[in-house]
Amino acid sequence: MTNTNSKPKGAGVSRRLRILCIGAHPDDCEFSCSGTAALWSRHGHEVTFLSVTNGQSGHHEQGGPQLIARRAEEARRAASIIGADSHILPLTDGYLVPSVDNRLMLIRAIRVVSPDMIVTNRPNDYHPDHRYTSQLVQDAAYSLMVPNIAPDVAAMPFNPVILYWWDSFKQPLPFDPAIVVSVDATFEEKLEMLHQHESQMYEWLPWVGGYSHEVPVPSDERKDWLRGRYKLRATPSVAERFREQLRERYGADGEAVIEAEAFELCEYGAQPAAEELEQLFDFTE
């Protein structure tokens, strides 16, 4: 396993950061950026997971208030593993639109956290909820600092850095990483967070993906099975796709990284220089 304490370029920030991870559904942040979120949390930064929809459509047998409550509890348990907060907006899974009302709701939610950095989907994705979550974040970006928009919640005095987490989609543009992070040190925490989403990892996703027959019945075997399923989900892995960037960031240790997460800088929001971005992702002791 790589030495993830190897010091990449840049010196770490001396203050406590607030990081807001915004997904469309209650398990999206865990899939896409929770290894890095665990690193932020380990280094004393404040992490919040926000789901823009309530997850009520993500099951083949349950739905409505029962599933909403179940998924909210799964999300709460998952976030608590790294000491993060979990919040879910009251918008219907599968019906998200980038309306003005939804934008105002998101502006208010972001202002309450007042994050230094937002991490979310890119605007091109197979799922409309993912696409529109990204669009809502983009549409909210400038207005976060405008006092006369959603005046009931104080405007932020700065614009946060906005980053996209990795995806494999090529159209209209392929993912272009600004930074790639080794999460070998926190991968077991990431797996444990995903394990909390039982309705998704062991029920809904296997059913809709046609591999329900593979899911172990004994609960004590499921997490090991999930580890293998996670690795199949992205082949080649993020680390393999961006090995050159890992070598550049970690030196020789970058060759040994197994699990990684990658982030692209959004053109909206604050635009940090390369050195400033490195400081936001400096996890050295």
The pLDDT tens digits along the chain (285 residues) read 233 333 444 445 668 999 999 999 999 999 999 999 999 999 999 999 999 999 999 999 999 999 999 999 999 999 999 999 999 999 999 999 999 999 999 999 999 999 999 999 999 999 999 999 999 999 999 999 999 999 999 999 999 999 999 999 999 999 999 999 999 999 999 999 999 999 999 999 999 999 999 999 998 999 999 999 998 888 899 999 999 999 999 999 999 999 999 999 999 999 999 999 999 999 987
- CA angle centred on 173, ends 170 and 178, rounded to 5°: 105
Q: What is the rounded end-to-end Cα distance, in angstroms, of the chain? A: 18
pTM: 0.94
Residue type, 206: P
- Domains with residue ranges and CATH for the chain: 18-279 (3.40.50.10320)
> Which amino acid, residue 18?
R
Q: Quick one: which H or E segment has residue 165?
A: strand 161-165
Q: How open is the CA angle 195-198-199, to the nearest 5 degrees?
A: 145
Q: Collect contacts of 77-80 with beta carbons under 8 A, ≥24 apart.
A: 77/196, 78/27, 78/30, 78/34, 78/49, 78/193, 78/194, 78/196, 78/197, 79/47, 79/49, 79/193
Closest of 87, 10, 11, 12 to residue 55, by C-alpha: 87
Q: Per the omega criterion (within 30 degrees of 0), is the bond before 236 cis? A: yes
